[in-house]
Structure 1
Amino acid sequence: MATLDITPLRSFAAVVAFSGVRRAADALHLSPAAVTGHIRKLERELGCRLVIPDGRGIALTSDGDELAVRARDIIAHHDDAVRTLTPHDDNGILVAATEHAAEFLVPTVMSLVHARHPERPVRLRLTRSAHVRDLVDDDRADVALMLTRPARGSVRVAPVPLQWFAHDARPSEDLVLFANPCAVRHEALASLGRRPHRVAAECVDLTSVVGAARAGVGMTPLPRIGPAHDGLRVVRGLPPIPDISLFVATSARVDTSIRQEIVGLLRHALSGRVDAA
């Protein structure tokens, strides 16, 4: 029977979240060649293709879609087991973040944490904001980025604008949404009011959301940070979606100055990305 190593799975999950090898490598502090090697190792072990090139990034095959869903759970269970069974020996730092922050914000945070604590291993978990809050409340996340409803001890970073995106930029009744719980989904649906709409697809990760919208399944709400994803355009003529807020929380296991640095860097990054959008 094939076995899956946790390190290649982490690389695969990061490639899915960041929609590309180079950005995933930057966040994980690995070389692109190492991350590519991890993906190839998984493909050899499983005997199937997981990712294919797609513009400037990657797309998942049907097998890649299947593994993306399972990899998230495998990594979460692995990390929870390690932390539960070795609570006094685990000197690592866990950065937990909403997937919506992955491409433009998480690499900045990861680089800062690596620079301030070079002697400690840094792990990354990308998940829903609701799950990030759980990790904070359970005292497992050391640095946490979440949307809308903050965990205890959180600091509000900045408002994040939301917009509808679609393949052809035309308003549609068909929607592509994250499955609940999802703060972006809630705000977007509320903004439509009585406008007719139909949930055409529900997805569990950002790559699947973007892929479905790019394929013309429907329009999807996304944070307006930086340029649109390849193949997607802003949909005009719809009621505006209220801004959501980005929050940061840190644990007592990281230096107290790090949170202030993270908040400052993120505010600067958000200001620049929103202005450029």
Structure 2
Amino acid sequence: MRNLDITTLRSFVAVADSGGVTRAAGFLHLTQSAVSMQLKRLEELLGLDLLDRSGRTIALTASGEQLLAYARRMVALNDEVIGRLTDQAFEGEIVLGVPHDIVYPVIPRVLQRFNTAYPRVKVQLVTSYTKTLKLQFSRGGCDLILTTEVERTGDSETVAERPLVWIGAADGSAWRQRPLRLAFGRHCTFRPRAIQALDAAGIAWEMVVETDSDRTIEATVSADLAVHTMIEGTEPPYLRQIDHGGSLPDLPAQMINLYGADSARNPIVTELADLLRKSFAGISAPRLQSVS
């Protein structure tokens, strides 16, 4: 197995950028002979001529031009890794509050990407209801919070606006039953809107699950014992949007709001806020799958 050396690639890039070994040596704080030796080793490793030395100035061969693009990327990635892992400025802890029902699918991806970029920064994820998170944020208990609300309030910014949809089991039929069996959290902000829409449509309903546990709700719904509502695009993979064909009422749009981004003095908090902003804006609407 042959392995490319970053130091050798760095010398190669420097020669290509400066147009000669002498200038590259000065830039790299190496002797001219050291740079020449590194280039020779690189050519021997690859078994290719990378530099055209036939003229008065050094030029890249076709193979050298091809290698240059890869070399730039490898050197840049090396420097990024070293910078991220050794820069003591990127340390600390960020407390991020997110409502239970919008953790999936964005938050796991955001946490993974953020940890890759800032491995020394700990993100403490707090999940609760919007009302609780706003109270914690007002008391300084969270650096950033996301909320689900019907409007933009206070110093928040809306990072996504999506409709509420009816959610049921894959290939389920609970949505056809009357009274309609519902499963909701006791403090869920979607609950009164769903009930209001059902009452306005004259559809009888009964609350068969009232709990503080999202797992309990998801288990009940996935067993086809009740239906639930979620923001479009945030349902877990084992539940489905209900293709009810108008048998259930439409539900209002819901805003996902971000608090704390504007007042963040820590640049790393700002980085996390920007990642959240971009990730939620990029949620694609899932394909509607009939559970009829």
Range class of TM-score, shorter chain: 0.5 to 0.7
| Offset of residue 138 of structure 1 | 1.3
Residues 254 and 115 (structure 1), Cα distance of their counterparts in 2 relative to 1, 3 Å cut: farther
SS where residue 135 of structure 2 aligns?
A: helix
CA distance in 2 between partners of 1:157 and 1:108 (Å): 16
Query: Is the 1:94–1:125 Cα contact (8 Å) retained in structure 2?
Result: yes
Alignment-derived partner of residue 130 in structure 1? 131
For 1:159, the equivalent position in structure 2 comes to: 161
Distance (Å, rounded) in 2 between the aligned partners of 1:91 and 1:151: 29
Aligned to 1:120: 121
Give the Å deviation of 1:196: 1.2
Contact kept? 2:183, 2:226, Cα under 8 Å: no
Superposition pairs for residues 182-193 of structure 1, below 5 Å?
Answer: 182-192=188-198, 193=200
1:74-89 equivalent positions in 2, closer than 5 A:
none
Matched, 1:97 2:111: no
Query: In the alignment, what sits opposite 2:142?
Result: 141
Q: Which residue of 1 aligns with 2:35?
A: none
How far residue 178 of structure 1 moved from its aligned partner, in angstroms, is 2.6
Any unmatched runs of 5+ in structure 1? 1-89
Q: Are 2:187 and 1:177 aligned?
A: no
Distance in 1 separating the partners of 2:105 and 2:122: 22
Asked whether 1:267 is paired with 2:267, we answer: no
**Root mean square deviation, CA, Å:** 2.6
Tell me, which stretches of 5 or more residues in structure 2 are unaligned?
1-90
TM normalised by structure 1 equals 0.59
- CA distance 1:249–1:229, shift in 2 (3 Å): same
What TM-score do you get using the length of structure 2 for normalisation? Answer: 0.56
Q: Which has the larger radius of gyration?
A: 2
Write out per-residue CA displacement over residues 182-223 of structure 1, whole angstroms, 9 at most, x where no aligned residue. Answer: 222122112112321111111212221111112232221122
Aligned to 1:204: 212
Q: Which amino acid aligns with 1:252?
A: A
Does the CA contact (< 8 Å) of 2:156 and 2:258 recur in 1? yes
Q: Per the alignment, do residues 265 and 216 of structure 1 end up closer, same or farther by CA in structure 2, a change over 3 Å counting?
A: closer
- Give CA deviations for 1:90-143 in whole Å, capped at 9, x if unaligned: 942111101111121112332354355433221111111111111211122112
Alpha-carbon distance, 1:239 to partner: 0.9
CA 1:152–1:254: 2 relative to 1, 3 Å: farther
Question: CA 1:230–1:265 in 2, change beyond 3 Å: closer, same or farther?
Answer: closer
Structure-1 separation of matches of 2:118 and 2:257: 22
Assess if the C-alpha contact under 8 Å between 2:164 and 2:229 holds in 1: yes
Contact 2:129/2:187 (<8 A) preserved: yes
- More divergent stretch after superposition (134-143 vs 236-245): 134-143
For the Cα contact (< 8 Å) 2:130–2:147, is it kept in 1? yes
Question: Take 1:151 and 1:140, find their aligned partners in 2: how far apart are those partners?
Answer: 19
Which amino acid in structure 1 is aligned with residue 131 of structure 2?
A
Aligned to 2:225: 217
Question: Counterpart amino acid of 1:175?
Answer: R
Q: Which moved more, 1:113-122 or 1:182-191?
A: 113-122
Distance between the aligned counterparts of 2:234 and 2:154, measured in 1? 29
Q: Which deviations, in whole Å up to 9, do the C-alpha atoms of 1:131-181 show, x marking residues without a partner? A: 111121112211211100656421101112222123324333243333332
Q: Is the 8 A contact 2:185 2:214 kept in 1?
A: no
Q: 1:138 to 1:227 in 2, by over 3 A?
A: closer
Matched, 1:241 2:255: no
| Distance of 2:249 and 2:116 partners within structure 1 | 43
Aligned to 1:84: none
Cα 1:97–1:202 shift into 2, 3 Å: same
Distance 2:231 2:191 in 1: 11
